[in-house]
Structure 1
Amino acid sequence: MRDIRVAVIGAGPAGIYAADILTREHPGASVDIIERLPAPYGLVRYGVAPDHPRIKEIVKALRRVLGREEIRFLGNVDYGTDLKLADLNRFYDAVIFATGAATDRPLEIPGIDLPGSHGAADFVSWYAGHPDVPRDWPLEAESVAVIGAGNVALDVARMLAKPADEQLGTEVADNVYQGLKANRAKDVHVFARRGPAQIKFTPMELRELSHSPNVDVLVHPEGFEIDEAGQQAINRTKSTRLVVDTLLKYLEAEPTGADHRIHIHLCQVPVRVLGTDRVEGLRTERTELQGDGTVRGTGEYVDTPVQAVYRAVGYLSTHLPDVPFDHAAGVVPHDAGRVLDLDGSQLTGSYVTGWIKRGPVGLIGHTKSDAAETVASLLADLDGLSAAELPDPDAIVAYLRDRDVDVVTWDGWERLDAHEVALGEAQGRERIKVVPREDMLVHASGRQLV
């Protein structure tokens, strides 16, 4: 098989795993991972709460891949602005899109657009220190509703309920710590439309809710129902059994009188955000299980007074310029990772992997198998791929610099990384994130801030 040059768009786990698998299975492959942010790792860096230390192990594995000679990191390069697909086709034999899903899926209920109503993905980006979001976040609400039954909902609830000082052992950015310090939330209500055996929490995430001595976790008995499908799931799946067992422990535990409380409400579906000029409450309808894991409304409504609402009902991918997109499904249409045009024909040389390929579902393990499928398709197509017009690795860098793009290389990221670690060491912490993009670029270049 001939030597090939491949561009991977997106430096999250999906893109990094694709680069790793491709270069291992085809020794003649070299890969540029092109990332719009100055830092790699995608949602591992910018989509996870700072108090998740186990994520560091994932970062270590991704770092080893990015440090390999056949793989090059080109950060602060925005596909669609700095580069178009036609440009990439000149420099590479093939392109793999791995841009993930980072925006909030909409929730179409009355009042959802009132001030005080937020998307969970936006809040996550703020507390994870994303450079492209505002530095401040409104945290005046004493009672908050979180809509959703997945791990993101739990992360949001935990970050709102825990006192800010408990984050000081993490890599939390200074502006985020100061914002959380002013947080007034005392009661955080999490609403799930189905029962305890159907929610999508993972056992570890659910147990983490009670790790703070300043937070009581209260599972409300209304809606704590297990139907036939739920019992089958408990018998069949260890993780479901552990989730239900943990919920039962919370249900049966006596409150400690902690200053902060996370309330978990089961079998309640949101129907309206209440308020005139801003959020004043959330109206939910009680649901009942149907025996097959689905629910139906009962016509009984509950109004919960809250001053803020966070919707954590899923992530959504963004349409990429020059790439076909299924807006209903929120994915790029494909056949085993081969991008399909609007007429169903293959868009030669273009591939897709990760959440923008399959939707925002699954864990890291699914991302690896997903990348393996895409790489297998690319290698099977190799004889039909057009050779790059400008395959010299220096050509793409020169092109970007001619367009005044401040490219962050792997060496630049390592300088920024070392600076963040040094900031943390000065305060007895492992790292403190640099948030402003301009500061990130300065430290990546080795210059000093003026």
Structure 2
Amino acid sequence: MKVAKFGGSSVADSDQFKKVKAIVMGNADRKAVVVSAAGRSENEPVKVTDLLIKIEQLRDAGQDYLPVFNHIAERFVSIRDDLGLNVAIEDDLRVIKSQIAQASHDYLVSRGEFLTAKLMADFLGFRFVDAKRFMIFNDDQFDYSKSRNLLKSIVADSSRIVVPGFYGVDESGRTHLMPRGGSDISGSILANLLDADLYENWTDVSGIKMADPRIIDQSRKINELTYEELQELSYMGISVFQEEAVQPVRAKRIPIAILNTNHPEEDGTLVVDQVRENTANLITGIAGKKDYVIISINKYQLSKRLDILSKVFSIIQRFDVSFDYLPSGTDSFSFIAKRAAVSNKVQAIISALEEESDLDSVQLEKDISLVAVVSDQLGKRPAVAGKILDILDNSQIKIHLVIQESSDIKLVFGVANKDYEKTIEKIYRNVSLNEKKLRMAI
């Protein structure tokens, strides 16, 4: 049995609905479908979810939100009419409209998935199952046991279902949103609950590219990668798959297929527990993020001065900023954060560290990018990391920091923002395109 999740671009209009139906009906094993809210299309430049957020903003500002709501309503009615469906979507729209004045953020923003799933279920001839009936959260933790029992009674009556993604409910029955991209998580959880044989994630690209195609034209597609590699690449910035969607299927070793709704005939990317040795590349993927700051502190024998480190962490915590941190030597320690997260606090943090901690120096580096090389080969072939450093050194790219985590599958370089694209290009061109030569060299 397969669980198939379709992203916003896959359900953007009636033509996309038809592509989804052809895919679902093309394989009888596709018995559970999860959909995102209708996304952007040629005629609709704004996602339904973003329009719902706009309604909330207008409502809270005391401004007229009805024109935006009416546009959303017209969009769903148009899809319904174009497809010749009978579902009374106007009834659902009236209920939503009546709730806007007092609706919570989570309820309002989730209505795009709700309405899209209603139409898709009718179009496919499947049963619509509202996620609130079985997707149960306890605070931010998903309750697998309770949810599985609830779903079991639902699928006993119907084996072919459509579920809206992105939300569930808490134990009080209030709508609980997942992070943006949460329909990936919904699909992954549903695959787990149903013990699916495969979780298909249908989007608008034919799998995951080795590097950002906006930087590397004609970047190679990754045919296979592991759950851990996918999770690291997602964390480091690829937008094809939501990072938190990996664990639910990984827990049951359910493969993930990332496929293209617009080109279902093309091979995608398969995510598995372990890639076959003869198919593994030296580097699986390259990803990154821009606009970081690094605060480095220095003190002789700092690694042994727990009193000073404790004081430093206390100061950092006081400013309520989320930092990643790492020891960078016996005498030094570095804190890394997104520039937007630090905002205008960075100078105050540095001043507090200088004035309140017995440090030798505090240094700030701004406009830093993090570029990650991900591969389960890094631990098996340590020389790969050295080759990459040589490549960057020969390209005169200044490395501000290097992080290799204990998992041995991710190597992170800190470079200047201005060198971000160049760094990715140099690694890709010299490793991906010269793989055979490098394998022989190491």
Which category of TM-score, normalised to the shorter sequence, fits these structures?
under 0.3
Structure with higher helix content: 2
Structure number with bigger Rg: 2
Give the TM-score, by structure 1 length.
0.25
